[in-house]
């Protein structure tokens, strides 16, 4: 076992956060999960509650938090377009005020702190694949800006707390990640297509489906994130963590239909505003500095995700809380 640490995971009840908590608890660390359950539910972490080294707090990171910890993973933020556009002002507050609160805490207790940033900082990219040095093409006043610009501002805050206050930070830029425990109604493409295919509904491809995404399986992502937290102090990022395997959305729809054996038909719906046309991570840096690269191919990851979707009861999930 690695050295025992007190670790805070914000957004720890979410899709990625709950798997991160699981991994850190299994490694023997003292784990505190803080979440306001905006886009998640307790069922994601209920199996951890019996562990003496796991603690769950209902907390909203836009408010200060006073804890003594050695490390913070900041994952708290709605991640699906439908979720983060539900209350865009709150989304921006979560990225900006949440980061300020947590960076202040990390400064006080000299904790190392990692920000879950996103490929959305590249916006609709003109450079392909995207290296970390690319500064992005984001519409600052569009519907996605609350998330994209919020995450960009969070990166700025992380770097300024590092330069100005000596806080030990890490920034990972996560590319589309999927797997079991995605919220079935989050509206993201993998969860939508699998849910639609299993229940025999039409598969909704937005636009022609020529836009691309590169999909990373959640276990690969969690491994990359943990390596970054534990990597050398002279490598604070930002670093891309994602799977370079790039597919059009139409290809994804066809794969999901084939792998579920579904009779669902593909239908086309309007393309949302500012939908990025292409996205693929350049992971040279992660390979060189972290010795990390993804292992799970899309077909295998989809099979595991489809299996999980077949076990859940859709009535156990609800859409984000109104008036949040």
- Residues that bind ligand NAD in the complex, under the rule CB under 6 A: 10-11, 13-17, 35-40, 60-62, 75-79, 83, 94, 98, 116, 118, 174, 176-177, 183
95 binds, among ligand UDP, ligand NAD, none (CB under 5 to 8 A by kind): none
**Can you tell me the distance from the alpha carbon of 78 to that of 13, in angstroms, rounded to the nearest whole number?**
12
Between 90 and 107, name the residue whose CB sits nearer to ligand NAD.
90
Per DSSP, the three-state class of 34 is: strand
**Can you tell me the distance from the alpha carbon of 137 to that of 126, in angstroms, rounded to the nearest whole number?**
7
| Residue of 247, 238, 250, 251 lying closest to 289 (CA atoms) | 238
List binders of ligand UDP among 273-292 (CB under 6 A). Answer: 275
Which residue of the set 86, 122, 147, 217 is catalytic? 147
Determine which helix (DSSP H) or strand (DSSP E) holds 156, and give its type and residue range.
helix 145-165
| Residue of 206, 203, 197 lying closest to 303 (CA atoms) | 197
Determine which helix (DSSP H) or strand (DSSP E) holds 169, and give its type and residue range.
strand 169-174
17 binds, among ligand UDP, ligand NAD, none (CB under 5 to 8 A by kind): ligand NAD
The residue count for the chain: 324
Please, what is the end-to-end C-alpha distance for the chain in angstroms?
40
94 binds, among ligand UDP, ligand NAD, none (CB under 5 to 8 A by kind): ligand NAD
Q: What is the DSSP string of 265-285?
A: -EEEEPPPTT--S---B--HH
Binding mask 170-199 for ligand UDP (x = CB under 6 A): ------x-----------xx--x-------
Between 231 and 242, name the residue whose CB sits nearer to ligand UDP.
242
Minimum separation from the CB atom of position 88 to ligand UDP (A) = 14
User: Would residue 147 show up in a list of annotated catalytic residues for this protein?
Assistant: yes
Minimum separation from the CB atom of position 242 to ligand NAD (A) = 8
Q: Which residues are catalytic?
A: 147
């Amino acid at each position: 076992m690695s050295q025992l640490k007190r670790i805070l995971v914000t957004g720890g009840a979410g899709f990625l956060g709950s798997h991160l908590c699981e991994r850190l608890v299994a490694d023997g660390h003292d784990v505190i999960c803080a979440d306001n359950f905006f886009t998640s539910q307790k069922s994601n972490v209920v199996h951890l509650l019996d562990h003496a080294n796991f603690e769950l707090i209902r907390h909203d990171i836009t408010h200060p938090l006073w804890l003594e910890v050695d490390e913070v993973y900041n994952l708290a933020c709605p991640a699906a377009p439908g979720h983060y556009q539900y209350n865009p002002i709150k989304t921006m507050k979560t990225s900006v005020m949440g980061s300020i609160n947590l960076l202040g805490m990390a400064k006080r207790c000299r904790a190392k702190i990692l920000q879950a940033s996103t490929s959305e900082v590249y916006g609709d990219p003109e450079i392909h694949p995207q290296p970390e040095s690319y500064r992005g093409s984001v519409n600052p006043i569009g519907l996605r800006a609350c998330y994209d610009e919020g995450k960009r501002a969070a990166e700025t805050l992380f770097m300024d707390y590092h330069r100005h206050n000596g806080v030990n930070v890490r920034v990972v830029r996560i590319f589309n990640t999927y797997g079991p425990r995605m919220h079935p109604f989050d509206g993201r493409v993998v969860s939508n297509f699998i849910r639609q295919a299993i229940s025999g509904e039409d598969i909704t491809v937005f636009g022609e489906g020529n836009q691309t995404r590169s999909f990373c399986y959640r276990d690969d992502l969690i491994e990359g994130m943990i390596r970054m937290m534990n990597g050398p102090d002279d490598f604070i990022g930002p670093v891309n963590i994602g799977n370079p395997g790039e597919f059009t959305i139409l290809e994804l729809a066809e794969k999901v239909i084939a792998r579920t054996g579904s009779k669902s038909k593909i239908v086309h719906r309007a393309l949302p505003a500012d939908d990025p046309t292409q996205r693929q991570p350049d992971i040279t840096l992660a390979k060189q500095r972290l010795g990390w690269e993804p292992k799970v191919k899309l077909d295998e990851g989809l099979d595991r995700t489809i299996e999980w979707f077949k076990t859940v009861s859709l009535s156990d999930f609800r859409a984000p809380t109104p008036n949040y």
